[in-house]
Structure 1
């Protein structure tokens, strides 16, 4: 017993009462601390559950974005191929256009040449017709004029 060696019942009772109050205070303090810790644990558990849900959502979202990124990479590659093909087709068309334009220019020059030759021939034919339609002169025999 902590009451010491005192045998006085009042002193012993006083000491025991004091110890009982200390024990009660200590028990109440520990009970409050336990209640506080249980409350904190409950909050942390709820927070943990929310965080677990958030992690699950974030994981699903990350997975979804990874799929989209993968699809975006595939789409980008397809677009790059399409762009390359379009550029090749555009170059082929440009080459054909340049070639056709050059051929058209040559044909126009050829036509100009043919038109000039035709004009010259028409002028020569008109001169020849005019010459043939004149009455023969005395110095020119009729057979020579017909030739």
Structure 2
């Protein structure tokens, strides 16, 4: 998913979340509480870490960093594919990296693009146990 709403008035280069973004991060946690999450990854920015942190804390996990460049996404995809089947991994990125992450996992984009003002997408990628191709679907969470 993409990070929640950011507050560029505080720090334009590495902004934290707004109050609405903090609420969205809590909504993410609440929407995935019953999901067997085994890892939470984010890029190395305040807004992505702050988006994943409430879920990571609820699951007693640490938010791990990943590199959103193509080589980093390939490495992230390997890490995700090595996780036990039936478990979930949450990846928090940016509007210009989340769909590339879906593709790195072998699934087609479920939407053509993520706009700069779209924060509610949650992309679910399913990686089959056999050699079948991965699939992805887009759903929404939090305030619309």
Structure scoring higher RCO (CA < 8 A, sep ≥ 6) equals: 2
Q: In proportion to residue count, which structure has more strand?
A: 2
| Bigger Cα Rg | 1
> Considering the TM-score relative to the shorter chain, is it more than 0.5?
no
Q: In proportion to residue count, which structure has more helix?
A: 1
